[in-house]
Structure 1
Amino acid sequence: MSLPQVLTHRHTTKAYDKNRKIPADQVSQLLAALRYSPSSVNSQPWHFFVADNDAGKARIAKATSGIFAFNAPRVMDASLVIVLCARNTLTPDYLEALATQEQADGRFASEEAREAGHKARSGFVGIHQQAGDVATWTQKQTYIAQGFLLLSAALLGIDATPMEGFEAGILENELNLKEQDLTPVVIVSLGYHSDADFNAKLPKSRLPEKDIFTKL
């Protein structure tokens, strides 16, 4: 399929076939999409919790209680569920670890280049620290990773459901997120839709191009 065909075929899945599992090699590709997602100044301000078994999915599903109970089957019946979390702070130690990894990966021609890159990134983080919006900024970066994950899944013929409908406090307690200085941003279920997925049968609806594009 062409890219427009993939985009129009992709939809938010409402019901999964719990008997169909994503092949291991494609799971690896999905995780690679997250790992290689772009982020501002290569800050990579995220952490991903991955569940591919009933026990792991049940821990995540605890957060889909009460008013969000409608999302519980979309967690438990999916093949793979990922909790995308954002870092609340970017500490000096974390920024140093990024520079060390970049150096190990051969991104710097010299020690001077390493220090210049590290100083530039730290300065940019400092701007957000002074503005008091580091957590908001890192969450925005995490949504970029979600976009890469959803598109990669669609290209592989895998269905997905992004969910903000969950109790963040429950998930924070279950996954010890506060101790790790993380905030849960979105849950994404992945797998293959079942016949009960009404959304798979509906046509895509978007505003017309003339309403959302302005050519300069």
Structure 2
Amino acid sequence: MNIVEISQNRYTTKHYDKTKKIPKEKFEQLLTVLRNSPSSVNSQPWHFFVIDNDPVKNKILPAIAEFNQPRVTDSSHTIVFCIKTPLDEAHLVNLLKQEENDGRIPTAELKDAQDQGRRYFVNLNSSTPQSQQCWEGKQAYLALGQLLFAAAAIGIDSTAVEGFDSEKMDEILDLKAKGLKSLVIATLGYRSENDGNAHRPKSRLPKEQIFTFL
């Protein structure tokens, strides 16, 4: 399929076939997509908790809205997207070190420019803890979009889940102690035969209403 066909065929899965699991090699591709996702000034302010077994799925269920629980229990994999609280000095130093190790900043001048430029945008969006988290959340949703599209491209169904109690999830996964906060969840797997959403036509506003060409 080309990218237009992928976008037309992809939809939010409501019911998964619990007996079908994502092959390891395909799931590794999706993890690579998440790792390669873009973020403002390469800030990468995220951490992903990957759950592929029933005991841990059941552990997080108290944080999941009841109507969304089958999407967690029946899917092959569940990923909890988290942001850093705060986006601290240690993370900024670690980013710069990784970029240097990867050969992205071959000179001292470029290293300093990269560091200062990133700090400028981090500080610009960190007047309060809430504003910093909002900015980080925008980056995490870029990664979510990448994941959903990539999954559809290799024949894997998905659901973005916002119907959950983030405070309860943070408590269950002990995220505060880890300097993290849960933001959104993605479930991945294969649709069941009775997934009615698969048979509904896609509905989007016409391009005349959403595009302005200047």
1:131: how far off? Answer: 6.0
1:176 to 157, 174, 177: 174
CA distance in 1: counterparts of 2:113 and 2:147, whole angstroms: 32
1:108: how far off? Answer: 1.2
Which 5+ residue runs of structure 1 have no aligned equivalent? none
> Which AA in structure 2 matches 1:124?
F
CA distance in 1: counterparts of 2:98 and 2:31, whole angstroms: 19
1:184: how far off? Answer: 1.1
1:26: how far off? Answer: 0.6
- What is the aligned partner in structure 2 of residue 10 from structure 1? 10
CA distance in 1: counterparts of 2:5 and 2:28, whole angstroms: 24
- What is the aligned partner in structure 1 of residue 118 from structure 2? 121
CA-based RMSD: 1.2
> Which AA in structure 1 matches 2:62?
K
SS in 2 for 1:129: coil
TM-score by length of 1: 0.95
Measured against aligned partners, the alpha-carbon deviations of 1:181-204 in whole angstroms (never above 9, x if no partner) come to 222111110000001211001110
1:2: how far off? Answer: 2.0
- What is the aligned partner in structure 1 of residue 208 from structure 2? 210
SS in 1 for 2:100: helix
Q: Count matched residues.
A: 213
CA distance in 2: counterparts of 1:3 and 1:123, whole angstroms: 35
Q: Which moved more, 1:155-164 or 1:112-121?
A: 112-121
Identity %: 46
1:101 to 98, 101, 126: 98
TM-score by length of 2: 0.96
Measured against aligned partners, the alpha-carbon deviations of 1:88-131 in whole angstroms (never above 9, x if no partner) come to 32111210110001001111112232122112111221111236
- What is the aligned partner in structure 2 of residue 31 from structure 1? 31
Which 5+ residue runs of structure 2 have no aligned equivalent? none
Measured against aligned partners, the alpha-carbon deviations of 1:15-53 in whole angstroms (never above 9, x if no partner) come to 000000100001101111111000000000000000111
